[in-house]
Structure 1
Amino acid sequence: MIFAGLGFAQLAAIFGIAGAAVVGLYVLRLRRRTVAIPFSPLWQRILKDKDATTLFSRLKRLLSLLLQLALLALLVFALGDPRAAATLVKGRTLVVLVDASASMQATDVSPNRLEVAKNEVKAMIRGLGGADRMLIAQMDAMVTPLGPMSGDTSELERALDQVKATDARADFPRALRFATDTLRNVELGEIVVVSDGNLGPALDASGPVHLGDDKLSFVSVGKGKRNVGITQFSVRRYPLDKSRYEVMLEVTNTGPEQQDIELSLLGDGNVVDLTKLRLMPGERLPRFYPNLSGASRTLEAKLANVDGTHDELPADDHAYALLPERRRAKVLVVTEGNTYLEAALLLDEYLEVTQVTPLDYVNKHASGSGFDVVVFDRVTPATPPRAHALYLDPRGPGSPVKVDAELTAPGFDKIDRKHPIVRFTALDDVNVAHGHKLVPDVAAGDKIVGAFGGTSPILVSGSRGAYKFVALGFDVRDSDLPLRVAWPLFLLNTVNFFTDEDARYISSFRTGDVWRVPVSTQATEATLSLPGGGTERVPVHEGRAVYLGERAGFYELTAGDTAATPEQPAPISGANKTAFAANLLDAEESTIAPVPELVVDGKTAGKVEGFHVGVRREIWIYLLLAAVLLTALEWATYHRRITV
């Protein structure tokens, strides 16, 4: 036996001092207990108290004193925290990785896989021996330690209660690297993985994970295989008819049995399509729905079994998407007359176009306020407008970018095809008579979208303050661009780029990724409303809100000076808001068949051993329980007049 708390010499000194005090107090108890009897005046002289004169008379109730000394001995012994010597020498250091990925929400075991996993870990906690220490970490898209390395069972159980399932895949290599770093230079280190085993290889960009001397143990949970999930889902509006849209999705049967399912599409909460499908084992079934209507903002897809039974993994039975908001963009066109420009803008019924001459602009609309976009056709005002602006052949000091040397027969030799203003366009063979080289302000974040010869930009985008701009370095009438389909698409893409309307497929964000949501203000923080309720503050970096999303559903981002703050919890009306959706869409995570073995670094994980459930290692707890029993015994004997 070894004392992990105070040493034996200290305990002996404490017991000697406290014992002497107890004996002293007991000896000084000179008066017997007063007992009222009839006719006390008659007996007072006969039964009058007498002082104890001998040590024997003071200690004649020896049993009571022995009980008190035994109680004191138990309390002092507990201060030493006695433990078995073997357990102190052979203590283990364990890192327990609890899988909280989407597949752990499967209900093939009651109530679900995650709760079964937590019960397994709780049994390990209660069976810790000797000097064992444990750290519990949640393993999903990130690895999150839920408390310090500890041997306190109550603290470990509180940490375990914090584990919550997410709608994301587990990053197994990241979790293993965290565990091996935690156990570096630690003797008897052990990594315990509690999961259904759908973790993928222990391999990342840095290569395979090496365990070293650390022991790897695996607790497998789950037993079901039957599941059908939505593995792809996207929607877009038609660019020239924003009242209609098309949907593309994919449904996958990851189980070993044939499944009959019912697929529902809901627009703004109302059913717009209902289809019954039959999927063979392992089949991936793509579905395309063109020319749909009946939804203005939200679109959802839901799966249900035809036979009325519940799917074993509900997390992948629901997918979400947001349609670009339909609203009329107010466009001010400043031109002396350009039929090509006017005709192209008439193609979109959701554009409210106002055309003015340069003189009218100076006299009536000099600030451009009240408009979403201002198009300057061979006009460059000295003062930039308070709106997003498209400059066609800018000139003079009012240009957002410097206009440099004249170019003869420039073309688009270099194009940033990922930029939204050139989406769906083919500009490579556009013929231009002459134009000018534009010099972007790199320090201000300007981007070269198109360049001639690789060194002469002719199409530049950027922002000045809170407003975006696009500058085209030639007059479109000096080219064949207006004769191509690319011309109206370029204009519509530019307006959409300015107003954040997007006609491309919206595949939504994937859970488990770091999301970078565009924010059209200069704010450094934003408030994110979560699908299940509640909000979080997220940072804004380079015009994008950055957030690691792990929940599927609809989100709303509020940014700007009027966004919610701790002092103003509710966002003020008029704040800049952006809505978006997130989905799981992961065929591997939808494959819920449990894996019986876990192999890492060429080693097969062993079974968890060395935990004796129900046996506590803290002996001092039992010493305190014994002290409580002795106190109860003393109370009982005293009141029954045995030790009085």
Structure 2
Amino acid sequence: MSWISSLAPWQWALFASVPVGIVLLCFLKLRREPVEVPSTYLWSRTIEDLHVNSLLQRLRRSLLLFLQLLAVALAGIALFRPGIRGEASSQGRSVYLLDTSASMQSTDAPNGKTRFESAKEMILGRIEGMSDTETAMLVTFSDRPDTVQSFTSDRRRLREALQRVEVTNNPTDILGALKAADGLANPRRSSEVGNINDVQVADAMPADLLIFSDGSFQPVTEFSLGNLVPQYIAIGGKSHKNVAITAFSAERNIEQPSQVQAFATVVNLGSEPIETVATLAMDTEFLDAATVSLDPGEQTGLSFVIDNDEGVALRLSLDIKDDLAVDNVAYAGLSPLRNVRVLVVTPGNTPLELGLATEKAAKICEAEFVLPSYLGSDAWVNRADAGTDDLVIFDRCQPKEMPLTNTFFIGSLPPADDDETTDDWNWGSEPSTVSLIDIDRTHPMMRFLELFSLLIFEGRSVVGPAGATELVAADAGAMLVIAPRDGFQDMVLGFEIISTDADGLTQTNTNWYAERSWPVFVLNVLRYLAGAAEATGSPSLRPGETVRVRLESAIADPKLRRVGDTTTRDLTPGPNGVIEIVGVDVPGNYRIEDGDRLADSFAINLFDRGESDLKVAPSVELGYEAVEAATGGIEQRREYWRWALMGVLGLLAAEWWVFSRRVG
């Protein structure tokens, strides 16, 4: 039998005065003024009690007094919280590491509970069994740690902290939580090891490290347990059923941008064969479906084709009830095809006019051609400051100041910046014959391009500012370079398409306009640099990851909204139009909107095979030490103070019955 006091010493002193007061009340005689009334002659014994000769009287045997004192004694015992618990080794300090990752949502725990609920019950049992001399802290971990409650011996605070904890959709990383526990148990030093002046700045304070998890995290090798005594409490059942969507994406057909192609991967990570239906929908509209039949461990690929020119927010769901629901749904999005406004400033460029007039380019582009003299007008100044164009192409000319939009310079350079702290564009070589030697095939501007058959009669290498990317390399240096500028992008081509000879006559400087790659390049310029359409879908991130988005300066009031929800979240762009969005951990399609305009979009998906694989790890590796899973249940304290309180209530009821019979 063990005892846990629930009162402070001064509270016990106050409680001890209660039985003393009860006994004194029995010694005291009540002084009443006798009044004769007819009915008192019928109550001779009562009349005798009214005769008072002294203040105190001898203590008489009283059943009521015995019951009252016994009730107080039982209440005192209850305040000592008597109980029985197994004798387990303890350091007096415990660190509870609670896994809140997505896999803890699995419903394969006993009694149909989730693993997270089962782990919380185990920790609560530990908290209830603490003695007054024990302390504990609660740390949760998913992709990042959270110290919910620091070390305390107050069980109420620990219970409240445990109640606040919620499971997440995030993946698992235990290293941060281990470092939080390591700060207590292992002392730190003031300088490097080997220094004679090195001193230990804290005493070692060993602690029990209790990890409540299913073990779905990577082995932690770069960590030393030191004075931490680990115990891994495995949470989860022996058998499980789970089918997961581990990949889902959408993209437009580069040849037919109105055609959307969607691809998905479905894996059976359970222990039994499954057959289900995968349903593709856009918002609430059904689009397509496919049957999926998989044996344990097998996976399959799914593909869908739909026609849509607008913004696409796709949802793929599996019609099955398994142990983990969060990986049964996946999301993908695409921006809508939209017309872009392009201003072309040129003395004359027929190949460029033809490239912008092709059937595909004309569907997504409204091009306006003006002469270089237009750059000296007030209309240009107002237009450049307003940023009304999606792209401005400067062919063999340059403005005095850069417009507030993306630009493409052909055979010319952007003007120098007045700010001396920034780099300017420069020519890297003298005009000469150019031979191309390499292109960056990974960049969207270079998709589906073959340029090595081009003839370029004269060109100069381009040197861009800091952060510039070389897209096409030649023997003379970089020939096509793109660089960021305060939320915009500028691209420079180091050779002219159409040039002018010494007599002022127009002549071609390259055969590019006669190649099949020329209209493809113009389409890439419209789609990537002008933003007409993204061939690839919206980026997909995991729950909890930081979302970084670069917006145009024309976006005045961006708001974040999850597709299907009406609530919005205000966003504040940084100085370069970059927004960092944190705390997005609910799977779904998200849109960044400016009024009715779609500025950008992204999707949040689990897509973590480690979280979807619900096998419980038999052991975990911490600092090159294998910690086996606990085979027994968690030792809980069995308390009897509630029975003592029930006894108090029974004694009070008996006292009332005896008193009622005497008075009655």
State TM-score, norm by structure 1: 0.76
- Contact 2:28/2:57 (8 A) holds in 1: no
Matched, 1:190 2:215: no
Among 573, 582, 589, the alignment partner of 2:604 is 582
Give CA-to-partner distance per residue, 1:159-194, whole Å, 9 cap, x none. 334443433322234444444445444334132323
Deviation at 1:221, TM superposition (A): 1.0
Matched with 1:99 is 99
1-structure distance, mates of 2:13, 2:417: 89
User: Higher mean Cα deviation, 227-236 or 402-411?
Assistant: 402-411
Give unmatched runs, 5+ long, in structure 2: 187-203, 499-508
User: Higher mean Cα deviation, 76-85 or 136-145?
Assistant: 76-85
Matched with 1:566 is none
Q: Which amino acid aligns with 2:213?
A: V
Matched with 2:348 is 337
Deviation at 1:374, TM superposition (A): 1.9
Q: CA RMSD in A?
A: 4.8
2-structure distance, mates of 1:378, 1:67: 107
Matched, 1:355 2:369: yes
Q: Which amino acid aligns with 2:220?
A: A
User: Higher mean Cα deviation, 493-502 or 139-148?
Assistant: 493-502
- Contact 1:194/1:218 (8 A) holds in 2: yes
Among 376, 379, 398, the alignment partner of 1:380 is 398
Among 422, 425, 431, the alignment partner of 1:408 is 431
2-structure distance, mates of 1:273, 1:575: 28
Matched with 2:501 is none
Matched with 1:328 is 339
- Contact 2:234/2:616 (8 A) holds in 1: no
2-structure distance, mates of 1:435, 1:231: 48
Matched with 2:199 is none
- Contact 2:544/2:582 (8 A) holds in 1: no
SS of the counterpart of 1:407?
A: coil
Give CA-to-partner distance per residue, 1:335-377, whole Å, 9 cap, x none. 2221222222234221122222334563655433533222222
Among 442, 459, 462, the alignment partner of 2:484 is 462
Matched, 1:514 2:533: no
User: Higher mean Cα deviation, 223-232 or 47-56?
Assistant: 47-56
Matched with 1:251 is 266
Among 629, 636, 642, the alignment partner of 1:613 is 636
- Contact 2:259/2:306 (8 A) holds in 1: yes
CA gap 1:486/1:90 in 2 versus in 1, 3 angstroms: same
CA gap 1:3/1:236 in 2 versus in 1, 3 angstroms: closer
- Contact 1:374/1:389 (8 A) holds in 2: yes
Q: How does 1:66-81 map to 2 (within 5 A)?
A: none
Give unmatched runs, 5+ long, in structure 1: 560-572
Matched with 2:506 is none
Deviation at 1:138, TM superposition (A): 3.3
1-structure distance, mates of 2:284, 2:85: 66
SS of the counterpart of 1:146?
A: strand
Q: How does 1:380-399 map to 2 (within 5 A)?
A: 380-395=398-413, 397=415
User: Higher mean Cα deviation, 412-421 or 339-348?
Assistant: 412-421
Q: How does 1:206-225 map to 2 (within 5 A)?
A: 207=222, 210=225, 213-225=228-240
Q: How does 1:135-284 map to 2 (within 5 A)?
A: 135-184=137-186, 185-195=204-214, 197-203=215-221, 207=222, 210=225, 213-284=228-299
User: Higher mean Cα deviation, 247-256 or 486-495?
Assistant: 486-495
1-structure distance, mates of 2:410, 2:381: 18
CA gap 1:399/1:613 in 2 versus in 1, 3 angstroms: closer
Q: Which amino acid aligns with 2:431?
A: T
- Contact 1:97/1:192 (8 A) holds in 2: yes
Deviation at 1:131, TM superposition (A): 3.7
CA gap 1:86/1:395 in 2 versus in 1, 3 angstroms: closer
CA gap 1:72/1:432 in 2 versus in 1, 3 angstroms: farther
Among 507, 510, 527, the alignment partner of 1:496 is 527
CA gap 1:87/1:24 in 2 versus in 1, 3 angstroms: farther
Among 492, 496, 504, the alignment partner of 1:475 is 496
Q: Which amino acid aligns with 2:492?
A: A
User: Higher mean Cα deviation, 423-432 or 338-347?
Assistant: 423-432
Give CA-to-partner distance per residue, 1:248-301, whole Å, 9 cap, x none. 222222234443332333345433333224334322323444x54257412222
- Contact 1:438/1:473 (8 A) holds in 2: no
2-structure distance, mates of 1:396, 1:95: 60
Q: How does 1:110-125 map to 2 (within 5 A)?
A: 110-125=112-127
CA gap 1:250/1:35 in 2 versus in 1, 3 angstroms: farther
2-structure distance, mates of 1:558, 1:327: 15
User: Higher mean Cα deviation, 534-543 or 259-268?
Assistant: 534-543
2-structure distance, mates of 1:54, 1:446: 104
Q: Which amino acid aligns with 2:209?
A: E
2-structure distance, mates of 1:546, 1:96: 30
Deviation at 1:439, TM superposition (A): 4.8
CA gap 1:609/1:314 in 2 versus in 1, 3 angstroms: closer
CA gap 1:539/1:52 in 2 versus in 1, 3 angstroms: farther
Q: Which amino acid aligns with 1:228?
A: V
Deviation at 1:488, TM superposition (A): 4.0
- Contact 2:334/2:536 (8 A) holds in 1: no
State TM-score, norm by structure 2: 0.74
- Contact 1:413/1:454 (8 A) holds in 2: no
SS of the counterpart of 2:400?
A: coil
SS of the counterpart of 1:251?
A: strand
Matched, 1:591 2:602: no
- Contact 1:432/1:479 (8 A) holds in 2: yes
SS of the counterpart of 1:271?
A: strand
Deviation at 1:322, TM superposition (A): 0.5
2-structure distance, mates of 1:83, 1:275: 59
SS of the counterpart of 2:548?
A: strand
